[in-house]
């Protein structure tokens, strides 16, 4: 609860409520608990109770435990308990409430985390709800429905291009554990941010049987990407009773239906229905309903069909709203023919199938486009996307057929080889990192480039760079074209012509070879991307770069976040300290061609003078660090850094070698060396310095400036000035 609530306000609220309170001695129908345990209880009495009606059970210490009637039997009523079921004892009085389960609905729920009964559990206090809605309602009929015609953009290239989802559709996301099912759902939510506010899709994420920590993580991520403001999370976590887990999707559906029925759009994600059916199985078995296949009760199909039927596109007369459902199902070892997966596959309008093998081979999202389908989304797909991606599926299918021959590539004929090359590039361009949904029109531009063969002239590893640069280029130079494409929505001859011109112009400026190929493909790609940030701003790759070179002693599980704060932050104190360090540090300028170890020895001796440490020790540490992973990040520079035993120590030695120092075959001529030497208590400053150096060497003119500088002072000035310049542009 917020502590800033004014006591006056509380009084006002209470006054109003108390004024409207009419004490009345109502006659209630009561029953008595015959037996209780494991989340269910059977009650004697309550002869006229309705199925699904809520029951209040008063425990011995006066607490009220809510329950819902599930089985109406001849002699007794079986209920599922929603909370502390261990407190319910035989003989407790159970009271009818005359109402079936209902939840608060309305705009007030957006941005909140609630339990399946609609109680907020995020600690932000009470919610404003517009109404209460029944949890179990019938799905809209035939008259009130319409075909799915509007697209729901997920922001994921592979899905929007090949498995398009329409508003009102039910598309299953299915795959083994840890194949990125939730990631697709979360990215889809994040992508709705870019939607026109009038067409905004309100998102409902239902977490069933998940860990509380994962729910928190998802909430944090959504907050971070500003997606929480139009999202509600309904959480029935693993520690909640099975009854709440069973109820969660239905109550979430009721909340989402409020938007569907008021002519707006909603998206609901059930994560996941496997756990939901397991919760229902638990309840059913405790209620002694007959078990069927895999011990699921007979109505487990109806359980999900009545839920997913509530997703619908309403016709204009009924407001034209929509509710799209993305149920998630977890398979065991890729077995889609298990009971629950087959059931849900048959209910939904298609499925996105994620595969373990693809995920582990680095293809993420790990969508198997061969068996993933969207049965109704095609009609909803944007025309321009349809024109672009029409042949994509086919190309990829052919590629997969031929992929087995890839290892004999030298013996293949030209056309096969070309097809293989094309497929490899298309596969590469369909890769997409998490939390980076792409606007559909940008997707069109990049896919069009791939399909029309523009990638064939670049190596596969450069394609992500191509995409990034192309987007930056279009943003900067061609906003008018994007506007036009958005407006027209299809690829007319004229637009296609313009687009081709844009590609040509862009490719003139794009030269992936400006980056030297390097020490370690990973580093180089990262560096290349980091350095290409000329106009697209900072930059996750930079972060990864620093993270990767950070020595083991300095690493921690939260390193990424820490670095992010350092790089993005405005810690002027530490930055001043870095400037001072540069001012005072030793700079060595060498004309000789040397090898690494000799240089290390030399520097170790110099370092030993300014600190209390032993030169040999420093030397052996430097060598050991180098053996861990190479500190030569590019053929041009290296940042050897070590942690000393002492306290409150930090020193830096900078070295320029005009002819270059031999590190390894991959880095034979390293020209700039930054030796860092600090004690563990200076860990933070160590990271600050690492980040600062990494940012300085990103300056495009750094390399030439470094080699041209005439003396030690000029080198110092170069470092300081690039640091300042960076700060200015950074703001």
Partner 1 sequence: MIFKMCAERYAGALFAVAAENKELDAVTADIRTIDEIFEKVPEIRKYCLSANIATDNGKIVIEEAFIKYLKNAKCANTLRVMAENRRISSLPFLAEHFFAILAEKENRVTISAQFATEPDPEIVEKLKKKMSNKTGKVVELNLDVNPELLGGFILKWSDRMLDNSVKGRLKSLKKVIKI
Can you give the binding site for partner 1, defined by CB under 8 A? 14, 17-18, 20-21, 23, 25-31, 34-35, 42, 44-47, 75-76, 93, 95, 126
Token duo for residue 107: 């705009």
Report the half-sphere exposure of 214 (CA within 13 A, side-chain side).
17
Q: How far is the CB of 20 from partner 1 (least distance, A)?
A: 8
Q: How far is the CB of 144 from partner 1 (least distance, A)?
A: 35
Answer yes or no: are the C-beta atoms of 490 and 387 closer than 8 Å.
yes
CB-wise, 105 or 329, nearer to partner 1?
105
CB-wise, 1 or 143, nearer to partner 1?
1
* Alpha carbons 28 and 12: distance in angstroms, whole number: 31
In 3-state terms, what secondary structure has residue 399?
helix
Token duo for residue 467: 């995409």
CB-wise, 38 or 717, nearer to partner 1?
38
**Continuous segment of H or E residues that includes residue 195:** none
N-to-C CA span, the chain: 36
Residues in Cβ contact with 401 at an 8 Å cutoff, skipping those fewer than 6 apart: none
- Helix intervals (H) in 262-299: 273-286
Torsion of the alpha carbons at 316, 319, 320 and 324, rounded to the nearest 10 = -150
Answer yes or no: are the C-beta atoms of 669 and 633 closer than 8 Å.
no
Token duo for residue 593: 């061609």
Q: Given 178, 375, 486, 724, which residue is catalytic? A: 375
User: Backbone phi, then psi, for 636, in 5-degree steps?
Assistant: -95, -40
Residues in Cβ contact with 690 at an 8 Å cutoff, skipping those fewer than 6 apart: 546, 549, 550, 639, 641, 676
- Helix intervals (H) in 431-537: 440-451, 463-477, 479-488, 493-509, 521-531
* Alpha carbons 265 and 406: distance in angstroms, whole number: 46
What is the CB neighbour count within 10 angstroms for residue 24?
A: 6
**Measuring CA to CA, how many Å separate 690 from each of 279, 300, 657, 674, 684?**
50, 57, 20, 9, 10
Token duo for residue 231: 């999202």
Residues in Cβ contact with 222 at an 8 Å cutoff, skipping those fewer than 6 apart: 186, 189, 190, 205, 228, 231, 233
User: Of 183, 225, 185, which Cα lies nearest the Cα of 203?
Assistant: 185
Q: How far is the CB of 35 from partner 1 (least distance, A)?
A: 5
**Measuring CA to CA, how many Å separate 709 from each of 33, 638, 701, 713?**
88, 18, 12, 9
CB-wise, 64 or 555, nearer to partner 1?
64
Token duo for residue 675: 């030796």
Maximum separation of any 2 CA atoms in the chain, in Å: 100
Residues in Cβ contact with 411 at an 8 Å cutoff, skipping those fewer than 6 apart: none
Answer yes or no: are the C-beta atoms of 672 and 706 closer than 8 Å.
yes
Residues in Cβ contact with 514 at an 8 Å cutoff, skipping those fewer than 6 apart: none
- Residue 375 is among the residues annotated as catalytic for this protein: yes
CB-wise, 17 or 487, nearer to partner 1?
17
Strand order in the sheet with 64-72: 40-45, 76-81, 64-72, 53-58, 93-100
User: Backbone phi, then psi, for 556, in 5-degree steps?
Assistant: -155, 165
Give the residue numbers marked as catalytic. Answer: 375
């Amino acid at each position: 609860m917020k502590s800033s609530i004014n006591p006056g306000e509380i009084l006002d609220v209470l006054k109003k409520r108390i004024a409207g309170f009419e004490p009345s001695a109502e006659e209630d129908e009561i029953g008595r608990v015959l037996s209780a345990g494991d989340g269910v209880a059977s009650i004697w009495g309550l002869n006229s109770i309705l199925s699904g009606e809520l029951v209040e059970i008063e425990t011995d210490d006066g607490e009220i435990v809510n329950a819902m009637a599930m089985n109406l039997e001849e002699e007794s009523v079986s209920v599922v308990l929603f909370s502390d079921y261990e407190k319910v004892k035989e003989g407790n009085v159970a009271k009818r409430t005359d109402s079936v389960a209902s939840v608060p609905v309305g705009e007030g729920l957006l941005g909140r985390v609630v339990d399946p009964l609609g109680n907020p559990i995020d600690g932000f206090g009470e919610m404003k709800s517009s109404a209460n809605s029944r949890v179990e309602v019938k799905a809209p009929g035939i008259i009130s429905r319409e075909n799915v015609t509007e697209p729901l953009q997920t922001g994921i290239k592979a899905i929007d291009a090949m498995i398009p989802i329409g508003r009102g559709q039910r598309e299953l996301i299915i795959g083994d554990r840890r194949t990125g099912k939730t990631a697709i759902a979360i990215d889809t939510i994040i992508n709705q941010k870019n939607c026109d506010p009038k067409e905004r899709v309100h998102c409902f994420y239902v977490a069933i049987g998940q860990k509380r920590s994962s729910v928190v993580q998802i909430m944090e991520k959504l907050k971070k990407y500003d997606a929480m403001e139009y999202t509600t999370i309904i959480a029935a976590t693993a520690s909640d009773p099975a009854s709440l887990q069973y109820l969660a999707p239905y109550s979430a559906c009721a909340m989402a239906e409020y938007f569907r029925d008021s002519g707006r759009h909603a998206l609901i994600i059930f994560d996941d229905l496997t756990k939901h059916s397991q919760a229902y199985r638990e309840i059913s078995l405790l209620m002694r309903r007959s078990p069927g296949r895999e011990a699921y009760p007979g109505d487990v199909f109806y359980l999900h069909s009545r839920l997913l039927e509530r997703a619908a596109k309403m016709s204009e007369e009924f407001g034209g709203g929509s509710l799209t459902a993305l149920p998630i199902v977890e398979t065991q070892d890729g077995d889609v023919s298990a009971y629950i997966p087959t059931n849900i596959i048959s209910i939904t309008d298609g499925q996105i199938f994620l595969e373990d093998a693809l995920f582990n081979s680095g293809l993420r999202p790990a969508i198997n486009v061969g068996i993933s389908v969207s049965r109704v989304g095609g009609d909803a797909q944007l025309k321009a996307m349809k024109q672009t991606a029409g042949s994509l599926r086919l190309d990829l299918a052919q590629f997969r057929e031929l992929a087995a021959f890839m290892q004999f590539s030298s013996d293949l004929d030209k056309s096969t080889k070309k097809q293989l090359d094309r497929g490899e590039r298309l596969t590469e361009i369909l890769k997409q990192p998490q939390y980076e949904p792409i606007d559909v029109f940008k997707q069109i531009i990049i896919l069009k480039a791939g399909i029309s063969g523009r990638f064939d002239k670049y190596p596969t590893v450069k394609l992500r760079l191509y995409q990034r640069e192309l987007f930056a280029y279009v943003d900067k130079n061609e906003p008018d074209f994007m506007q036009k494409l958005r407006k027209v929505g299809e690829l007319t001859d004229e637009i296609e012509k313009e687009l081709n011109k844009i590609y040509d112009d862009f490719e003139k400026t794009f030269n992936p070879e400006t980056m030297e190929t390097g020490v370690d493909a990973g580093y180089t790609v990262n560096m290349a991307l980091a350095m290409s940030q000329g106009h697209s701003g900072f930059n996750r790759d930079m972060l990864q770069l620093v993270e990767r070179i950070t020595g083991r002693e300095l690493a921690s599980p939260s390193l990424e976040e820490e670095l992010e704060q350092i790089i993005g932050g405005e810690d002027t104190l530490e930055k001043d300290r870095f400037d001072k360090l540069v001012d005072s540090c030793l700079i060595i300028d060498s004309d000789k061609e040397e090898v690494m170890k000799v240089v290390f020895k030399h520097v170790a001796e110099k370092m030993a003078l300014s600190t209390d440490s032993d030169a040999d020790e420093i030397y052996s540490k430097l060598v050991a660090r180098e053996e861990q992973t190479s500190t030569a990040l590019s053929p041009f520079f290296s940042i050897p850094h070590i942690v000393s035993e002492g306290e409150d120590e930090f020193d830096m030695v900078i070295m320029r070698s005009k002819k270059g120092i031999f590190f390894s075959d991959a880095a034979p001529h390293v020209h700039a060396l930054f030796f860092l030497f600090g004690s563990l208590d200076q860990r933070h400053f160590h990271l600050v310095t690492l980040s600062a150096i990494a940012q300085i060497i990103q300056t495009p003119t750094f390399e030439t400036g470094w080699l041209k500088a005439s003396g030690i002072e000029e080198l110092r000035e170069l470092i300081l000035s690039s640091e300042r310049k960076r700060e200015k542009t950074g703001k």
